[in-house]
Amino acid sequence: MLRFDVLTLFPDMVAPVLAHSMLKRGQEKGLLTVKGHNLRDFTADRHKVVDDMPYGGGAGMVMKAEPILLAVAAIRHEAQASGEDIRMMFPTPHGRPFTQDHARQLADERRRIVILCGHYEGVDERVRMALAPEEVSLGDYVLTGGELPALVLIDAAARLVPGVLGDPVSALEESFVDALLEYPQYTRPAEIGGIGVPDVLLSGHHEAIRLWRRKQALRSTYVRRPDLLKGRIFTKEDQQLLDELMSEGLLTAPTSTPGGGLSP
Ligand code: 6GU
């Protein structure tokens, strides 16, 4: 059972995402639990103040340390009562880039994973000092708070827990697992606006389909994300497919206009 505890000022931002699709199913199957904790419930004052002005001045508010430390203490206490430990995570643009390896590590985690969602201009530095959370970033841009990143972490980990996805191979075959992007997929109808489906996919020849897909995945990765192929040692089969793509002149970026697509 994968266990998450989300510390947030906005539990209503988190709950609805968990009520659908695979995250819902994972919880129903008892493979995953996500508990939201409202940081406002861990304030001691009458007005339930969770933020305050920064010492030294400046714009914006800073999240107070005490409600966060109290909430973590309560979760740690509860965990320890059932012989568990916790792992503290803090999504922030200052963190280490979150990757598929990280997701895999979370999916295997036996401890309760506590995710602190930051807001406003920041969190009192003493939270970092006291809890030494693992700081992870989703990329080089800034979001309004940690709730969306927390959901991203949960989603990325949950889908790797056996039984959460319907088809166990679909996670394995996904992008990044062996560092290749996905091959193109098609479903009915067989023709849209004059554009059909590659013949091989209709052929019923499983080996030919497998090779075509592998070749398309190599091509897509080479064209869009050459960094994923750097330093990679190719199998004989992959090298053969790359040679074919090269001689077919397909290993160059598509020349079509970005955003250009099917005409209506
Ligand atoms: Cl993890 N948090 C926030 N607030 N902004 C981000 C981020 C995280 N990752 C990228 N931008």
pLDDT, one tens digit per residue, over 195-229 is: 999 999 999 999 999 999 999 999 999 999 999 99
Which residues make up the CATH 3.40.1280.10 domain(s) of the chain? 2-167
Question: Which residues have C-beta within 8 Å of that of residue 2, sequence separation ≥ 6?
Answer: 26, 31, 32, 33, 106, 107, 109, 113, 157, 158, 161
Calculate how far, in angstroms, residue 86's C-alpha sits from the geometric centre of ligand 1.
22
Q: How confident is the model at residue 258 (pLDDT cuts 50, 70, 90)?
A: low
For the structural domain made of 2-167, what CATH number should be given? 3.40.1280.10
Question: Which residues have C-beta within 8 Å of that of residue 77, sequence separation ≥ 6?
Answer: none
**Superfamily of domain 191-263 in the CATH hierarchy:** tRNA(m1g37)methyltransferase, domain 2 (1.10.1270.20)
Question: Measuring from atom 2 of ligand 1, which residue has the nearest CA?
Answer: 92
* 128 SS3 class: helix
Q: Whole-angstrom Cα distance, residue 2 to residue 241? A: 40
Contact 138 CB / ligand 1 (< 6 Å): yes
Contact 148 CB / ligand 1 (< 6 Å): no
Q: What is the pLDDT of residue 119?
A: 92
Which residues make up the CATH 1.10.1270.20 domain(s) of the chain? 191-263
How much is the pTM?
A: 0.90
